[in-house]
Amino acid sequence: MLEFAKNVIPILDRSFVLHDEFFDREDTYVPYESDITTMCYGSSEQGFKIKVEGEYEPKYGGRVVDRVLVTAYGLPEGMVFELESTRKAHDPAFLEMRLSSQQEEAITKIAKAFDDTFRHDPPFTEEELELELLCLKAALKHRAWSAAKQRAKRILRDFPNNPQALFALGVVLGVNEDFSKARTILEQVVSLDPNHYDAWYNLGIACYKQGDYKEA
């Protein structure tokens, strides 16, 4: 992840100067709960902040969540570059990238580099999609929000208008109190499936939380 970030950050910001040095490492360990390591790579002005986090659950035999976050700092105002890898229990790792810039060409180039570097798994077959949707439903039922988000986004890569995956993503966004994005996603769900009553219900909650009582 760091190597990829180092390779593409000049596309986003040509003035980005990166020093090959790790510093400011900090380790935090809570027995049987979590361990977190944070460090910086670069200089105090520009570089990447790296956070490696593990969560533990003794009844599941130890470490159940691994998360790695690589965030660029020192970018011009309005620019964002972040990579996050999450693996929960026995699920495969899920990697996502967050980008923000006024330079559409730069975003397109970095997105293509991301796909070329990390996207090696083939699209779901119809049978695999059916199984993945069952797993997604189970994740929602057990309130495994991180797993639900991962599975929903993986499905939406191949089936961007799948109502069940969009609904799951909207629910997770609502749980995380990102009601604006949740509302947008859930509005898409009810436009695709007007009889999706759970989506209407959650859309009402999102509207209410935004203070839009009339729409709620």
Domain ranges for the chain: 2-118, 126-209
Q: Radius of gyration of the chain from Cα atoms? A: 19
> What pLDDT shows up at residue 58?
58
Categorize the per-residue pLDDT at 216 as very low, low, confident or very high, splitting at 50, 70 and 90: low
CA distance 75 to 23: 19
Separation in Å, CA 61 to CA 36, 41, 65: 19, 33, 12
CA distance 175 to 213: 19
Categorize the per-residue pLDDT at 87 as very low, low, confident or very high, splitting at 50, 70 and 90: confident
Q: What value does the mean pLDDT take over residues 15-38? A: 87
Categorize the per-residue pLDDT at 95 as very low, low, confident or very high, splitting at 50, 70 and 90: confident
> What pLDDT shows up at residue 50?
94
Tokens read off for 57: 């659950």
Q: Would you identify the CATH topology of the domain 126-209?
A: 1.25.40
CA dihedral 134, 86, 109, 2 (to 10 degrees): -160
Find all residues with CB under 8 Å of 23, minimum gap 6, and list them. 39, 40, 41
Q: Find out whether 40 and 51 touch, Cβ atoms under 8 Å.
A: no
Q: Is the pLDDT of residue 59 over 80?
A: no
Q: Which range (55-64, 121-130, 182-191) has the least confidence? A: 55-64
> What pLDDT shows up at residue 151?
86
Q: What value does the mean pLDDT take over residues 199-213? A: 89
Q: Is the pLDDT of residue 105 over 90?
A: yes
Beta strands in 3-150 (DSSP E): 22-30, 34-42, 47-57, 62-73, 80-88, 94-100
What is the total residue count of the chain? 216
CA distance 142 to 177: 19
Q: Which range (89-98, 138-147, 182-191) has the least confidence? A: 89-98
Could you tell me which residue, 206 or 66, shows the higher pLDDT?
206
CA distance 86 to 96: 9
Q: What angle do CA 111, 129, 163 make, to 5 degrees?
A: 75
> What pLDDT shows up at residue 117?
86
Q: Is the pLDDT of residue 208 over 80?
A: yes
> What pLDDT shows up at residue 91?
63
Query: Average per-residue pLDDT in the chain?
Result: 87
Could you tell me which residue, 127 or 189, shows the higher pLDDT?
189
Could you tell me which residue, 91 or 115, shows the higher pLDDT?
115
